[in-house]
């Protein structure tokens, strides 16, 4: 499976123009959500080919990462004259690149696509690595395929359009990359100020973070082994994310729980899985507590109770890394010391959730 070409660009228009000239296509589709259509589309609208592209605009946020939205995109591609020789450009955050990549991968049995990530989360995670998909049946990324984009164009100028919450969301994946990388990278990340962002420094860190993911994906593009390192924090994180999604539009929602950004759930998942790493694989307690304090300071917490544990455990059993009903965790023996395919007993998982509930 070929890996995508990732271009770190200081001029997205010139880069996109060059990429489109290299790729042969009969019809160009441009997928955006309502936010990127307003905020990011004006940046690239003068690129050759974009003016004649069929523009498809979908609802913003992960709540629209659904089968219904996917069907709408397929329909518009068909009505727009799409063929197996067409090209899709996905301009947006992780929801857009995930759903757009899946739409392109399945339309006419697959057409090529280009990702232009516009959020920090999509730059360092969703747009790179070839995972595409949608949420289904209340579960995160339940339906999807592995399919590499032709090119990913990363221009960090888009980061200046983000609010604090979306910077934090993407930064959680960078923190994960630091934990699976080395102590120097982790130290740089854990000491970064997310309130007064140094965008020049952040741009350099984005490049380093993407390089970590590329190295892992190059070695294991289909997640049969070491790529599972990238799931650190995600077994619990996806459970938190799916759990919070259940409170959407509930009129009797008295607990104050609402759908959360992916990175927030991952940050909380990192705390949980680092605690489990301390218990099971010898991860240093002081580094775990340092990470937990960072997450508490910048991400707050999810107000779960003991009564929620069975639901969260059930959600963890649906994780795609599991085998024969056994929950598999990616844990660490230390920074950069990756231990995939780790298991835990129900009592250990509940103890981990106790720590999260009491410690954050």
Of 65, 140, 234, 339, the active-site residue reads 234
Of 4, 173, 241, 273, the active-site residue reads 173
Q: Is position 177 annotated as part of the catalytic site?
A: no
Rounded CA-CA distance 208/186 in Å is 11
Rounded CA-CA distance 305/253 in Å is 15
The full set of domain ranges for the chain reads 5-162, 165-359
Cα–Cα distances (Å) from 350 to 195, 230, 242, 310, in that order, read 33, 23, 18, 9
Helix (H, G, I), strand (E, B) or coil at 225: coil
Q: Is position 214 annotated as part of the catalytic site?
A: no
Indicate left, alpha or beta for 42 from its phi (over 0: left) and psi (-120 to 50: alpha): alpha
Of 4, 115, 177, 223, the active-site residue reads 223
Q: Is position 234 annotated as part of the catalytic site?
A: yes
Rounded CA-CA distance 120/209 in Å is 11
Of 140, 177, 213, 228, the active-site residue reads 213
Of 64, 131, 140, 177, the active-site residue reads 131
pLDDT at 3: 56
Of 64, 140, 147, 262, the active-site residue reads 262
Residues 6+ apart with CB under 8 A from 174: 120, 124, 189, 205, 206, 209
Q: Is position 173 annotated as part of the catalytic site?
A: yes
Residue-wise pLDDT tens digits, 81-106: 999 999 999 999 999 999 999 999 99
Of 238, 241, 273, 328, the active-site residue reads 238
Q: Is position 358 annotated as part of the catalytic site?
A: no
Q: Is position 223 annotated as part of the catalytic site?
A: yes
Residue-wise pLDDT tens digits, 174-189: 999 999 999 999 999 9
User: Under CATH, which architecture does the 5-162 domain have?
Assistant: 3-Layer(aba) Sandwich (3.40)
Place domain 165-359 in its CATH homologous superfamily: Dehydroquinate synthase-like - alpha domain (1.20.1090.10)
* Cross-strand partners of 114: 89, 151
Question: Which two structure tokens, joined as six digits, stand for 285?
Answer: 């307690």
pLDDT at 75: 98
* Alpha-helical segments (H) within 180-261: 183-190, 199-219, 234-245
**Regions of the chain short of the pLDDT cut 50:** 1
Of 227, 228, 273, 339, the active-site residue reads 227
Domains 5-162 and 165-359 alike in fold: no
* Nearest-10 Cα torsion for 186, 296, 168, 238: 90
Q: Is position 258 annotated as part of the catalytic site?
A: no
Of 37, 90, 135, 231, the active-site residue reads 231
Per residue, what are the HEC states of 243-304? HHHCCCCCCCCCCCCCCCCHHHHHHHHHHHHHHHHHHHHCCCHHHHHHHHHHHHHHHCCCCC
């Amino acid at each position: 499976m070929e890996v995508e070409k990732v271009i770190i660009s200081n001029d997205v228009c010139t880069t996109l123009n060059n990429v489109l000239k290299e790729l042969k296509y009969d019809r160009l589709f441009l997928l955006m959500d309502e936010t990127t259509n307003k905020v990011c589309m004006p940046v690239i609208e003068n690129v050759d080919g974009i003016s004649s592209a069929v523009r498809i605009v979908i609802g913003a946020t992960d709540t629209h990462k659904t089968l219904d939205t996917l069907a709408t995109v397929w329909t518009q591609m068909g009505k727009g004259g799409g063929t197996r020789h067409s090209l899709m450009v996905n301009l947006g955050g992780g929801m857009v690149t995930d759903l757009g990549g899946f739409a392109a991968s399945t339309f006419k049995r697959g057409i090529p696509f280009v990702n232009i990530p516009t959020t920090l989360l999509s730059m360092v995670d969703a747009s790179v690595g070839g995972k595409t998909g949608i949420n289904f049946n209340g579960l995160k990324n339940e339906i999807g395929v592995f399919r590499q984009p032709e090119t990913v164009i990363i221009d960090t100028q888009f980061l200046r359009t983000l609010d604090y919450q979306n910077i934090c969301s993407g930064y959680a994946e960078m923190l994960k990359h630091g934990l699976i990388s080395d102590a120097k990278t982790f130290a740089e990340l854990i000491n970064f100020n997310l309130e007064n962002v140094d965008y020049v420094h952040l741009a350099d860190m984005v490049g380093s973070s993407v390089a970590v993911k590329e190295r892992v994906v190059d070695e294991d593009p289909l997640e049969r082994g070491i790529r599972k390192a990238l799931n650190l924090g995600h077994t619990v994180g996806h459970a938190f994310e799916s759990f919070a999604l259940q409170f959407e539009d509930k009129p009797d929602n008295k607990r104050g729980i609402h759908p959360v950004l992916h990175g927030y759930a991952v940050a909380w998942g990192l705390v949980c899985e680092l605690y489990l790493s301390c218990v099971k694989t010898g991860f240093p307690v002081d580094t775990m507590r340092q990470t937990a304090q960072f997450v508490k300071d910048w991400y707050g917490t999810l107000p779960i109770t003991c009564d929620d544990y069975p639901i969260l455990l059930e959600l963890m059993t649906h994780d795609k890394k599991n085998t024969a009903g056994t929950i598999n965790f990616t844990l660490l023996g230390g920074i950069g010391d990756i231990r995939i395919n780790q298991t835990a007993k129900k009592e250990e998982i509940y103890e981990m959730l106790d720590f999260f509930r009491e410690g954050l």
